[in-house]
Chains A and B, each alone.
Chain A
Amino acid sequence: MVAGVAVGTAVHPERCPRVDRAAIDDAARAAVSWFAANTADDGEVLYSWDRGTDRSPGGRNVVRHAGVVMALHQAVGAGIPGARAVADRSLRWALERLVETPVGPALALGDPAPTGATALLVAALVIRGRVGGDVDGELLRALGSTLVATVGDDGSVAADVSVVDGPVRRRTSPFFPGEVAWALALLDGVLPGEAYGEAADRVLAWIVTARDEVEGPWPPVSDHWAAYARAERVRSGVALPAGVTTDALTRWRERQLGLFGLQVRYESQRRGGWTRVTRGRQAPASGLGTLGEGLGRWLAVDAVSGELAGRRPVVVERLACVTGLLVERQVDERAAASEPDPARVAGAWFRDGVTRLDDQQHALSALLVAAEVFADPLPVGEGGRP
């Protein structure tokens, strides 16, 4: 009986809703509609909304805004109606908040400028160029200079850029290195031969070989941005960053995939009731979305390098699970209709009655990558298991 109780506490049934391609597309469109309805004329996106009070708790975060701009440009690339207009608006807001620093322009709401904001803005601009939008090449190059200046000789990334002193290394960020690596990798694609690729590889090498030892993040980071970066470098023909052995890359990849998989399995066990005690409350859509983004980018890596080999079907299963959970947890128009302000709610993801703009951002990006992987209209997921 003791064994039964222990096992019953240690594991719970994993539930992954079954979804088809149409449902994925509908959910992505609804997320873009939420952005369209909740982006002001000046381009500022509503930061958060509380369904319980029908008010915004407020807040502003320039990194998250830049992430939204990037995700909306991904949606433009996926051909989602209305995405381009809101992408343009949100980008304008960001461009109006560029500040000059000793190493180049940076996106900021004050001093210092968080490096991740500039990195995600660069990613947005490069994607914008890929999907037919106008991009100022000189601005891109200037922003690239800023990012390169944040990269140390060892590949570590300064988390902030001071308007007065330039790159500042007083704090670390679990995600900025991956964001910077991705932005630099994207820049290398549009401005080849300007050392952006080398800088991207330096950051990636640091993430792969040193980050966990130097910073010892706990819990360990499942780094979806690093997966984006690696996918971009593999796409450019760089399978192995300089200074990284195949063994080190394999260890890092397996650890990363393990972290993504574990979190998906854990999240799929959160069903309310007793599991709220044993598993805690459900993750925000921002967190769940990053799992989909990371798994999707690793599948993109595999599509070029084939390095997942026999593990690919498992990764696809986990992505299907994330997709099903996201589609199921999104508030649809019918449910939102009874709200005092349906436009704040429809197409969004809430946790404990509150949504934040990055919930929609990461969920949207995950749905878009899922739409690429599950191009077939047939349902994905087994209805009960990841």
Chain B
Amino acid sequence: MSLRLALVAALSTVNAWRLAPGVPGATARERVRVAALGAGGLVVLGALVGAGSGPVLGAASLTGPTARIAAGVAVTVVAVRDLLSRPPSPEPALAGDAAAVVPVLFPHLATPGLVLLMVSVGHDRGVAVVAGLAVAAGASLVVVAALPAGWVSTRWWRAVGSLVSASAVLAGVGVTVSGVLDI
């Protein structure tokens, strides 16, 4: 899997456009804070998953290419679900900064698709690359969280979110194919 495909898959799987209405907070400042904390959590999770990818795949008796197939399938399934379902809601959420954990980190950011993608990339390219992808994915959410709530609930905004989900489907297929065609 090329670095470019991994980046596209990570960004489109997170799909900040679609997640934007689901970030809790009464003001833009609060939403940015929660999104940033959630993004930080994603980077920590990415580092842990990336560092542990080798032992995890060893325990599961999976080779790198097969793990990539698993990641691609998960990314695709999650993206199809996103295409067919409504954008996430900020409720229910834990109070205050804990909202960065629920719902921002779980279940919005750390989907099965993204976690398996991080495991696969961690095995193929190392923990630093996984952390880099997590930073990029988390940053995309922080950027959209700063936008006015009225913007991110419009129809055209949702349409863009659907386009990104569609690109996630393609990216998932691409990741799967790269695993199939590898040695």
Give chain A's interface residues, CB within 8 Å of chain B: 2-4, 6-7, 10-11, 13-15, 255, 257-258, 260-262, 265, 269, 311, 314-315, 317-318, 382, 384-386
Contacts and interface: CB of A to CB of B under 8 A. Distances in A.
A15 B112 contact: no
Given A10-B73, A11-B70, A260-B183, A3 B113 contact: yes
Q: Which of A3, A262, A382 has the most CB of B within 10 A?
A: A3
A11 B60 CA distance: 11
Contact of B62 (A2, A4, A11, A315): A11
B74 interface: yes
Nearest to B112: A3
Given A3-B77, A14-B63, A262 B181 contact: yes
B183 A7 contact: no
Nearest to B61: A13
Contacts of A258: 180-183
B69 interface: yes
B62 A10 contact: no
Interface residues of B, number: 26
A372 to B, nearest CB: 20
Interface string B46-59: 00000000000110
B113 A11 contact: no
B61 A384 contact: yes
A111 to B, nearest CB: 42
Contacts, number: 71
Main SS of the interface on chain B? helix
Contacts of A385: 57-58, 61-63
A287 to B, nearest CB: 18
Nearest to A321: B63
A13 B113 contact: no
Contact of B183 (A6, A13, A269, A314): A314
A10 B69 contact: yes
26 contacts: A2-B77, A3-B74, A3-B111, A3-B112, A7-B74, A7-B112, A7-B116, A11-B69, A13-B60, A13-B61, A14-B62, A14-B66, A15-B61, A255-B181, A257-B183, A258-B182, A258-B183, A260-B183, A261-B183, A262-B180, A265-B66, A318-B183, A382-B58, A385-B58, A385-B61, A385-B62
Contacts of A384: 58, 61
Nearest to A258: B181
B77 A6 contact: yes
A7 B76 CA distance: 10
B25 interface: no
A315 B183 CA distance: 7
A255 B182 CA distance: 8
A2 B81 contact: yes
Contacts of A317: 63
